[in-house]
Amino acid sequence: MVGIIPMASSIRPSLSTLRFAGASRLGLSLASFTPRRLACFHLASAVPQSQSFGLKASKLLRGDGKTIGVAAGGNAAQASTTATPENVLEWVKQDKRRLLHVVYRVGDLDRTIKFYTECLGMKLLRKRDIPEERYTNAFLGYGPEDSHFVIELTYNYGVDKYDIGTAFGHFGIAVDDVAKTVELIKAKGGKVTREPGPVKGGNTVIAFVEDPDGYKFELLERGPTPEPLCQVMLRVGDLDRSITFYEKAFGMELLRKRDNPEYKYTIAMLGYGPEDKNAVLELTYNYGVTEYDKGNAYAQIAVGTDDVYKTAEAIKLCGGKITREPGPLPGINTKITACLDPDGWKSVFVDNVDFLKELE
């Protein structure tokens, strides 16, 4: 097993699921997917725009930029506090956020679980089959879902192959010895696409491997870390635009940015804390490339928030597209909102309190 030292903690279950309409089970293009329930988030119900930002009376931004007064119950009322664009964006900086999980599709769930547990040292946190919807979910990672960034795999009955496309990059895993990890993966029949060695232009020892479905994993040699599953790399067409969006709408911090003119690309690391202790989003811009094929394999990232209503307003103010209006899910009442960034990458925000209730 890979030499990874995750944070010690007991594993608790979650209610997160991923359901697809018929087109998604057939492995059609990403645009044809109409998820019914995605990563514990039902996408069918909408919530009136008059939902309150908080428990006390406040004002809500409308589409025309004006404000309307709302009370805790959602009824119109006069209020002394105005939710201006400046207030909403300032609130984003103070919101308690963290990356919860990343969702993607695989063609053989048991094969993938075996590779992740035996070669990458992950733990199978839970697995459940939903035969009436013809899919199975599995959650894997290096610690419990209430404190770690984890992977949610989805297998749709009868679909054994997906198109990863050119937009998705890789996942990053911190290990204590890259060379030993690569030897283990080779012994298990895994595919190594980049042998261990220093990263170009730096000293960090890395290697690249592929899982059975072709998803790439970058192995980074680091000391003990509470978050071994440490990166999700996505390609974007305008890096500065994306950085501004994730800073303002998502409240992420630009941890570092590095230009590599020799290889004609620039990367930016963004997240909710330092890279050695938190999972981060790595955005890559390749010189002159403004559009990519997203395929139909990668789905989304889920992020925790204290208020999905304010989150949705901030996303709208920053030019993002809301694909699921904020509000509670029927049946379990977990409040969520879903959005697309300027490049079309999907994210779902989940209410922190509701998420912990589900885990209990």
The DSSP line for 12-72 is ------EEE-HHHHTT--GGG--EEEESS-B-S----TT--SSSS-EEEE-TTS-EEEE-T
Share of the chain above pLDDT 70, in %: 77
- Low-confidence winner among 15-19, 144-148, 288-292 (lowest mean pLDDT): 15-19
pLDDT in tens, 166-216: 999 999 999 999 999 999 999 988 999 999 999 887 789 999 999 999 999
Q: In Å, how far from its chain's centre is CA 100?
A: 7
pLDDT in tens, 303-358: 999 999 999 999 999 999 999 999 998 877 899 999 999 999 999 999 999 999 98
- Low-confidence winner among 60-69, 225-234, 278-287, 317-326 (lowest mean pLDDT): 60-69
Q: What is the mean pLDDT of residues 129-152?
A: 95
- The residues near 233 (Cβ < 8 Å, ≥ 6 apart) are 168, 169, 170, 171, 172, 218, 282, 283, 284
**Cβ atoms 153, 39 nearer than 8 A:** no
Q: What is the mean pLDDT of residues 70-78?
A: 32
pLDDT at 15: 38
Q: What are the C-alpha distances in Å from 166 to residues 188, 214, 265, 343?
A: 27, 12, 15, 13
**Residue 359 pLDDT grade (very low, low, confident, very high; cuts 50, 70, 90):** confident
User: How big is the chain by its Cα radius of gyration, in Å?
Assistant: 20
Residues catalogued as catalytic: 218
Q: What are the boundaries of each domain within the chain?
A: 85-358
Does the domain spanning 85-358 belong to CATH 3.10.180.10?
yes
